[in-house]
Chain A
Amino acid sequence: MKQPDAIVIGAGVVGSACALGLAKAGLKVVVLDRGPVSGGTTGAGEGNILVSDKEPGPELTLAIRSRNAWFEIADEIGAGFELEAKGGIVVARTQVGATALSHLAKRQQRAGVQAHELDRSALHQLEPYLDPSIDFGFHYPADAQCQPMLSAAQMLKALRSMGGEVITGAAVRAIHTKDSAISQVVTEKEKYSTEIVINATGTWAGEIAQMAGSYLPIAPRRGFILVSAPAPNLIRHKVYDADYVANVASDSTDLQSSAVVEGTKSGTILIGASRERVGFKSDFDVSILRILARQAISLFPILASVQLMRAYRGFRPFAPDHLPVIGEDGKIKGLWHAAGHEGAGIGLAPATAEIIVGQVLAREVFMDASPFSPRRFIQESAP
Chain B
Amino acid sequence: MITVVGAGPAGLAAALSAANAGESVELIESGARLGGQYWRNLPNSIVVDQQALNHDFQSGKVLREKVQAHPNITVLLNTQVWRASHEEGISILHTISGGTTREIRTNKLILATGAYDRTLPFPGWDIPGVMTPGGVQALLKGNNVKAGKKIVIAGTGPFLLPVATGLAKYGVDVVGLFEANRLRRWIWQLPALLNNISAIKEGASYLHTLRKFKVRVQRGYAVVEAHSGSDGNLSAVTVARVKSDFSVIEGSQRKVVCDVAAIGWGFTADLSLAGNLGLMQQVSLLDGGTYVVVDEHQGTSQAGIFAAGEITGIGGSKLSLAEGEIAGSAAAGSETNTSKKRKLAKFASALLRTYPVGPNWQSWLKPETTICRCEEVTLEIIEKSVLDLGATDSRTVKLFTRCGMGMCQGRICGRSVNDVVARISGKPASDADRVSSAARPIASPILLGELAQIPIVD
Complex Cα distance A252/B15, Å? Answer: 47
Binds A, one of B58-66, B108-116, B334-342, B383-391: B383-391
Q: Is the CB of B389 within 8 A of A157?
A: yes
Chain B residues with CB under 8 Å of A145's CB are none
Q: Is the CB of B375 within 8 A of A266?
A: yes
Count residues of chain B with CB under 8 A from any CB of chain A: 34
What residue of chain B has the Cβ atom nearest to residue A42's Cβ?
A: B399
Complex Cα distance A266/B405, Å? Answer: 10
What residue of chain B has the Cβ atom nearest to residue A38's Cβ?
A: B399
Q: Is the CB of A308 within 8 A of B441?
A: no
Chain B residues with CB under 8 Å of A271's CB are 448
What residue of chain B has the Cβ atom nearest to residue A295's Cβ?
A: B452
Chain B residues with CB under 8 Å of A309's CB are 407, 409, 442, 445
Q: Is the CB of A310 within 8 A of B395?
A: no
CB 8 Å contact bits of A195-230 with B (1 = contact, 0 = none): 000000000000000000000000000000011111
Q: Is the CB of B389 within 8 A of A304?
A: no
Chain A, range 66-113, C-beta contacts under 8 Å to B:
none
Chain A, range 25-41, C-beta contacts under 8 Å to B:
36-39
Q: Is the CB of A310 within 8 A of B409?
A: yes
Q: Is the CB of A307 within 8 A of B392?
A: no
A283 at the interface (CB under 8 A from B): yes
Chain A residues with CB under 8 Å of B83's CB are 284, 286, 289
CB distance from B103 to the nearest CB of A (A): 8
B285 at the interface (CB under 8 A from A): no
B197 at the interface (CB under 8 A from A): no
Q: Is the CB of B452 within 8 A of A293?
A: yes
Complex Cα distance A309/B94, Å? Answer: 15
CB distance from A70 to the nearest CB of B (A): 18
A381 at the interface (CB under 8 A from B): no
Q: Is the CB of A307 within 8 A of B445?
A: yes
Chain A residues with CB under 8 Å of B393's CB are 36
Chain B residues with CB under 8 Å of A297's CB are 448-449, 452
Chain B residues with CB under 8 Å of A289's CB are 83, 451
Complex Cα distance A209/B308, Å? Answer: 48
CB distance from A292 to the nearest CB of B (A): 9
Chain A residues with CB under 8 Å of B87's CB are 283
B396 at the interface (CB under 8 A from A): yes
Chain B, range 69-104, C-beta contacts under 8 Å to A:
83, 85, 87, 94, 103
CB distance from B30 to the nearest CB of A (A): 15
Complex Cα distance A160/B445, Å? Answer: 41
Complex Cα distance A157/B85, Å? Answer: 39
Chain B, range 406-458, C-beta contacts under 8 Å to A:
406-407, 409, 440-442, 445-449, 451-452, 454, 456
Interface residues of A (CB under 8 A from B): 36-39, 43, 149-150, 153-154, 156-157, 160, 166, 168-169, 226-230, 266, 271, 283-284, 286-287, 289-290, 293-294, 296-297, 303-313
Known: A166-B390, A230-B407. 17 other contacts (CB 8 A): A37-B389, A38-B396, A39-B395, A150-B400, A153-B385, A154-B389, A169-B392, A266-B375, A290-B452, A293-B449, A294-B452, A304-B448, A306-B448, A307-B446, A308-B447, A308-B448, A312-B441
Sampled A-B contacts (30; CB under 8 Å): A36-B392, A36-B396, A37-B396, A39-B396, A43-B396, A149-B396, A150-B389, A156-B389, A157-B388, A157-B390, A160-B390, A168-B390, A230-B406, A266-B375, A266-B402, A283-B87, A284-B85, A289-B83, A290-B454, A293-B449, A296-B448, A304-B452, A305-B447, A308-B442, A308-B448, A309-B409, A309-B442, A310-B405, A310-B440, A313-B441
